[in-house]
Amino acid sequence: MSESLHTLSAAELSRRLATGSVTSRTLVEALLARAKTHTVLGAFNSLDAEDVLRQADAADRRRAEGKSLGSLDGIPVGIKDNIAVREQPLTCSSKMLAGFISPYDSTVAERLKAAGAIL
């Protein structure tokens, strides 16, 4: 694909996922590769590649079965680490909270997950 997926809006990605011109897995793999090559930016405190790929595969299965959760289904969303996402680090970029894993989802995380977003 000559076009860089990271430059597309969520609305355009949603359209492409709906038409099948891109899969969630392809999108996530492209964004993981970009994150890996741009580490100097420090954009992510943590990134669980296995988990986001698992979520992408689940979104692709839902879409194939006609059970998409909506326009955000299969679209990766970066979340600041001061917003609680169950079983993910929640450090607020503070050494005091190093190693803390959130035991619950914040309201925003719950709503994004319900819409199928990949967190």
DSSP tally for the chain: helices H, then strands E: 4, 0
Distance in angstroms between the alpha carbons of the first and the last residue of the chain = 24
What pLDDT is attached to residue 2? 44
pTM, two decimals, is: 0.90
Count of all residues that appear for the chain in the document: 119
Greatest CA span in the chain, whole angstroms?
Answer: 46
The predicted pLDDT at position 109 comes to: 98
In this predicted model, what pLDDT tens digit does every residue of 59-111 receive, in sequence order? Answer: 999 999 999 999 999 999 999 999 999 999 999 989 999 999 999 999 999 99
C-beta separation of 73 from 56 below 8 A: no
Mean residue pLDDT of the chain comes to 94
CB 69 within 8 Å of CB 116: yes
Residue with tokens 């679209």: 75
Give 89's strand partners. Answer: 101
